[in-house]
Structure 1
Amino acid sequence: MIEIRYASAGDERYWFELDKHLSKKEYSNKILQNQCYIIEEDKKCFGIIRYNLFWDLIPFLNLIYIDPGFHKRGIGRAAMLLWESEMRKLDHKLVMTSTMVEESSQHFYRKLGYKDCGCLIKDFEPFAETMEMFMMKPL
């Protein structure tokens, strides 16, 4: 059975196999704030979710990763719906995420009701990359 639970300090080794962008100090902070989730089946971890608060107000999904061997089983959708439910319980009325324009995840988010709401273009070195699009969904 698929389970989605808050990450703990004991998950650190697994977490950093998948998330190369978060510092260990920030991981500790996120654990305390319940802003990291582990997705597992029969105690075997195969995915993670991480978020923060945009403008210290709006839940912003920074990362959802599901091992490719578990794709096309509805797990990503279930994980997103659980996260959105958790955000409702915390009395949030809106959630956000972003994706690079060339990534197919934008279609996944649109199927879940997210709408395009802007973009970010970083065209200066050494940070230049393709456009990042932002998406929002009312809860």
Structure 2
Amino acid sequence: MVEVASASQADIDWLAREDASAGKAWVSRCVALGEYLIAKEGGEIVGFLRFSRFWGRVPYMEMIRVLPGYRRSGVGTALFFAWEAAMRGEGARLLMTSSECDESRPQDWHRRNGFTETGAVELPGLQSVPEVFFIKRIG
């Protein structure tokens, strides 16, 4: 059974390793602000969801990652549903996320979980393809 909770200081080393592109300083900042959820099975961390707030208001799912051996077993969905419930509990009415335009599997996952495409942005020098944004109305 998957257990989802906010990450704690004790999870920082694991998160810094598994969310390596973020860097340990950013991971520590996000943990301190409550912007990570972790999923555990049998007491072991098997995935995480990192989020922020677009314009300081709209909950934005930046990254969701499940360890390879646990993918397609409901861990990502459990993380997402826990985040959605927490954001709804904070009064959010809209959620955002994104993926690179050539990432069809993540986009399919977003659509299965109620997101709709809302536009794309080109980020020259940062990405070779546009970033596609998705929204989900929750309130």
TM-score by length of 2: 0.92
Residue in 2 that maps onto 1:4: 4
Corresponding letter in the other structure for 1:97: T
Matched letter for residue 110 of structure 2: Y
Give the Å deviation of 1:105.
0.4
For residues 32-54 of structure 1, what are the alpha-carbon distances to aligned partners after superposition, in whole Å with 9 as ceiling and x for unaligned?
22111111111111111100000
Give ranges in structure 1 of 5+ residues lacking alignment. Answer: none
- Report the counterpart of residue 114 of structure 1 in structure 2: 115
Question: Are the structure 2 counterparts of residues 121 and 63 from structure 1 closer, same or farther at C-alpha, using a change threshold of 3 Å?
Answer: same
Identity of aligned residues (%): 27
| Secondary structure of the structure 1 residue equivalent to 2:128 | coil
Would you say 1:14 and 2:5 are equivalent positions?
no
Q: Does 1:129 align with 2:128?
A: yes
Offset from partner CA, 1:58-84 (integer Å, 9 cap, x none): 000001000121112122112111110
Match of residue 94 from structure 1: 94
Amino acid at match of 2:31: I
Alpha-carbon separation, structure 1, partners of 2:78 and 2:13 = 24
**Runs of at least 4 residues of structure 1 off by over 3 A?**
none
Give the distance between the partners of 1:94 and 1:6, measured in 2 at CA.
Answer: 21
Rate the CA distance shift 1:82–1:128 in 2: closer, same or farther, 3 A. closer
Aligned length: 137
Which runs of 5 or more residues in structure 2 are unaligned?
none
TM-align CA RMSD: 1.3
In structure 1, what is the equivalent of residue 77 of structure 2? 77
SS state at 2:134 partner: strand
